[in-house]
Amino acid sequence: MIDTHTHYFLKEFDCDRMDLLERLRENGITHIVEAAIDMESNFIMRKYFANNDMVSFGSGIHPLRVKSENRIYGLNGCENILRTLIKTPKTVAIGETGLDYTREVSCEEDKELQKTYFRMQLELALETDMPLILHVRGCHEDALEILESYGKQFKGVCHCFIGSAYTAQRYTDLGFSLGIGGSCTYSKNREGYEEFIRDLPVLSPEKMVLETDSPYLIPVGCKGKRNNSLNLSTVLATLSRVMDIPEEMLESIIERNAKKCFSLE
């Protein structure tokens, strides 16, 4: 299986980072995509994994980090650094990038700054024909309005997708796959998830990829205080049951999607 969204550069993995990656390989995880969240992480993950053949990189700026990065580098500085990073070996995507209105966003000025950095990274993706890793939380309508305004097809993944079948269709019409992780195991009574879980059976497996967002979003039933790619099997089993598709068939479809999305053949 391929984990299309991880953060193994974070301090939660300082005690066993490289041992864990070997354990993943031994248990059938063939590839992972490390998604950057700020400028520092863009460089840290390369330091750790530049010589590891099972790791590729997404280079970008998370929406909740644009305010701090803007103070340090400015928009032009961030763009220039990203332009250099996306040319480096093993970089397969731009992101994670997007909009996040659920916390730490105190005013319209903060939202507009997120939109400015989102557009900058979208335009880089269109210019370079690279896939995007989207982070959209609490604002699908604003994100889709921006994406649809370009009138063009994109490539990439809407990471940690939570939404209705209608919202999913709008992303897939734009060329995105849906990143499905531990959220699909959560209770129907959890706020914001009921519609998503209800609509899962009508979503197309041809437009899905698996992810963990490690160390976050531990699936229900998995032990430990941090998520890791071994828990993809729980996500896959849940999808198989909810969508009524044999697990082996679903795994084959989703792996093919991930390879195509990030050019991992």
For the chain, the structural domain boundaries read 2-261
Pairwise CA distance, residues 257 & 87, whole Å? 23
| Cβ-contact 125, 94 below 8 angstroms | yes
pLDDT digits (tens, 9 = 90+) for 130-140: 999 999 998 99
Query: What is residue 149's predicted lDDT score, i.e. its pLDDT?
Result: 98
pTM: 0.96
What is the average per-residue pLDDT within 226-242?
96
Interval 68-116: pLDDT, tens:
999 999 999 999 999 999 999 999 999 999 999 987 676 899 999 999 9
List, for residues 165-213, the tens digit of each pLDDT value: 999 999 999 999 999 999 999 876 676 688 888 899 999 999 999 999 9
Of the listed ranges 5-14, 174-183, 184-193, 255-264, the least confidently predicted one is 184-193
CA distance 43 to 78: 13
In the chain, which ranges are E strands?
Answer: 2-6, 31-35, 55-59, 91-100, 132-137, 156-159, 176-180, 208-210
- The architecture in CATH of the region 2-261 reads Alpha-Beta Barrel (3.20)
Nearest of 182, 185, 97 to residue 147 by alpha carbon: 97
Q: Give me the residues paired with residue 32 across strands.
A: 3, 55
* 141-146 mean pLDDT: 97
